Amino acid sequence: MSSSSAAFHFAERAGIDANVLRDVLDAGPMASVVSRGKAQKLTDDDLAAQAAIADVLKNARLAETAADAAGSAHPLITASRELYESAVADGRGELDMIGVIAVLQARADARAPGPWTLELTPFDDSDADRLRQGQRQELDARYGSGDHEPGAAPSVRGSGVASAVLRKLEEHARPLGARRLVLETGTAQPDAIRFYQREGYAPIPLFGSYAGSDVLVRFGRDLLVPR
């Protein structure tokens, strides 16, 4: 159903009549009673729950765990799970499963037409503290209680802000004489691992008290090498 939400989101942004999209999908070979019902709800902008996002998220996590255990590649399951988690983190868990369209809309709205304007703030800044607390609650719900470091707020994920923040950190570190930036995450956080690798960070050995850990991974990037 997340793919149906994505299709209607695209139609909205592209100026395509939702009724036309609904009719096209209804006439297709993959149409069913369920898909027709959800397409009508999306056309009517009716996000009242039949199957709530919070409940569907539980199923997505179970499916992803089973796929991991079987050694199966599951990019679409992961993408759906991430959307459901973002929706729950944004307070939309009680919406119908098609309500992930609200997450897609928020992400699209967050995309800035020009370069990001970023500034460093003190660690104890009140807005920064609220973001950390919300993110840690989300990560605790996903991975269990632990020492989690926050990332981008759910409403701006996919907008490029995380890459912009990473560039800002690199720019800040160079004048201080830093030659390498080192990032750490957990083996249970594949989203973070993919992001770091996409940004040009390569795995490096763990060191210090974390050497030999089977739940942590570190990445590094030489700051003297231009992007």
Cut 0.75: pTM above it: no
Output the six-digit token pair for 1. 């159903």
Q: What is the pLDDT of residue 57?
A: 93
Q: What is the pLDDT of residue 199?
A: 83
120 burial type by CB count under 10 A (0-12 exposed, 13-18 middle, 19+ buried): exposed
Q: What is the pLDDT of residue 56?
A: 94
Q: What is the pLDDT of residue 22?
A: 93
Q: Does residue 219 contact residue 183 with C-beta atoms inside 8 Å?
A: yes
Cα separations (Å) of 50 from 59, 94, 126? Answer: 15, 10, 38
Q: How far, in Å, CA of 205 to CA of 61, rounded?
A: 30
Q: What is the pLDDT of residue 39?
A: 93
Q: Does residue 139 contact residue 148 with C-beta atoms inside 8 Å?
A: yes
Print pLDDT tens along the chain (227 aa). 888 999 999 998 888 999 999 999 999 998 899 999 999 999 998 889 999 999 999 999 999 999 999 999 988 998 889 889 888 887 888 999 999 998 888 777 666 545 566 777 787 888 878 877 877 777 677 666 665 555 666 666 666 778 888 888 888 888 999 999 998 888 888 878 888 887 888 899 988 888 888 888 999 999 876 66
